[in-house]
Amino acid sequence: MLRAWRDVKQADPLLQPQLGPDTKEYDDEHFRPQLHPDSNSQHVFKSQHILFVNRKELLGHLVPAAPQLAPLHGPLRSTYVFPLDTDPDYPRNPTRILNHNGSLLGEQDARRGKGKSIVQLPPCCCHQLLTRLQTVLITGGSEGMGLSIAQQLAAKGANIILVSRSTAKLEEALKTVRASAKDPSQRFHHITADVSSPSYAAPLVAAATAWNNNQTPDIVWCCAGTSAPQLFAEMEMDSLRHHMDVNFYGTAEMSHAILRAWLSPSAPVAPEPKHLIMTTSAVALYTIPGYAPYAPSKWALRGLADTLSQEVMMYPQNVKVHVVYPGTILSPGFVREEQVKPEITKILEASDPRQTPDEVAAASIKGLENGDYFVTVNWLGNLMRLGMLGGSFRNNWVVDTLGAWLVAIIWIFVQPDLHGKIRAYRKKHGHPSART
């Protein structure tokens, strides 16, 4: 049983300086969630057995006095926690309803008043990818998806560190990201690095940590990648190695360096999780001719992520691993890719959905804010995910299992169609080596 809010306020002198004249308190029977998490005011709420705050720094003072808050901080969940008001005017469709010990309670039972300490994490403020002024490091952040992610997270209040090979591109990108900032107090930085270089990541993490007031980044998002499609028999093996160096080892090196920092025995154990986000590709779910140099590096990333998502459970620190599977992105990289892409590859993916970097970034962030491990960005990617789950973490056991059964039936029709197009192309054009 938690102490009453009044007792906590009196007992915790560290909390007093945090409470300004605009701090507000609400009793359960009078509470109405009229506030938005973007509010600059500090608000502290009380319920029967739970304390509710909308500032990360306040939570740090409250958790020692309110240990039952800890179960409410799962993957990507912010510090914004509100009580469920059973009044019929209360907003509908809560994302999560829990009782005081963190276990799920059905919405109807909650609305009937069953359970003594029911809380809601409303859609407007639960599962946030970051809280204000967290620091995000993004590799491949000078263009395309990486740059769009940086802009959108800056608009949410994040400090941003961009990483890329080109200093000139980074400087221009940083201007764009800075213009998206939500608050003048946000900070922005760039570090020039080649992710294909062995052992690049440890010095980079050290430099980022030094810039971030000797605090490791809260989120690391690996977006750097390359794609130069070719038919396997016609490519040079150097192409395969280069794709592995950039796409796989670039992310693996960064993952190794940041996890060593986050999971070291001296690293703090905090309620707010750290997040390692890998960017693979829809071709890591199902590939087609032409992606022989590219697809293996992305499939390897999936295997690494599935492994690390389990290994981090062994440590006391709160670290989450996620994987994003974008499809066709209308980025500068896609323009370069189209210049060398085999014709058969273009034919087979002609009907695939195409998205702008902003659309992909927004869909990725939305999936992460939902707490997803396995993030797809469009309907096709989600269908492919359902058909290739294997032993990966499920986003939702029931939905994913039923969806996988459905997709298994869909593949009965889709795969023969794809293979028919490949055979028809061979019949029409002859041996691939006869074409230039």
Tens place of pLDDT per residue across the chain (436 aa) = 223 334 334 433 433 333 334 333 433 333 333 333 333 333 333 333 333 433 333 333 333 333 333 333 333 233 333 333 333 333 333 333 333 333 333 434 433 433 333 233 333 233 456 655 699 999 999 999 999 999 999 999 999 999 999 999 999 999 999 999 999 999 999 999 999 999 999 999 999 999 999 999 999 999 999 999 999 999 999 999 999 999 999 999 999 999 999 999 999 888 788 999 999 999 998 889 999 999 999 999 999 998 898 888 888 888 999 999 999 999 999 999 999 999 999 999 998 999 999 999 999 999 998 888 899 999 888 888 877 776 566 778 788 888 877 877 887 787 787 777 777 776 787 756 555 5
Q: What is the spatial distance between Cα 170 and Cα 179, in angstroms, rounded to a whole number?
A: 14
Residues 209, 216 contacting (CB under 8 angstroms)? yes
Set out the domains of the chain in order of their start, with CATH numbers: 135-429 (3.40.50.720)
The sign of the dihedral angle between the CA atoms of 206, 212, 217, 219 is: negative
Q: What is the pLDDT of residue 229?
A: 96
CA 392 to each of CA 279, 294, 370, 377: distance values in angstroms, whole numbers, following the listed order:
16, 21, 17, 17
Enzyme catalytic residues: 294, 298
Cα–Cα distance between 262 and 275 in angstroms, integer?
A: 10
Which pairs with CB-CB distance under 8 Å and at least 24 residues apart come from 63-68?
63/271, 65/2, 65/3, 65/8, 65/11, 65/12, 66/2, 66/3, 66/8, 68/2, 68/100, 68/101, 68/102
What are the φ and ψ backbone dihedral angles of 284, each rounded to 5 degrees?
A: -80, 0
Tell the residue number behind the tokens 């200093």, with chain if given. Answer: 167
- Cβ proximity of 186 and 133 under 8 Å: yes
Which has the closest alpha carbon to 370: 55, 3, 53, 78?
78
Q: Which among 421, 292, 416 is positioned nearest to 348, based on CA atoms?
A: 421
pLDDT attached to residue 392: 64
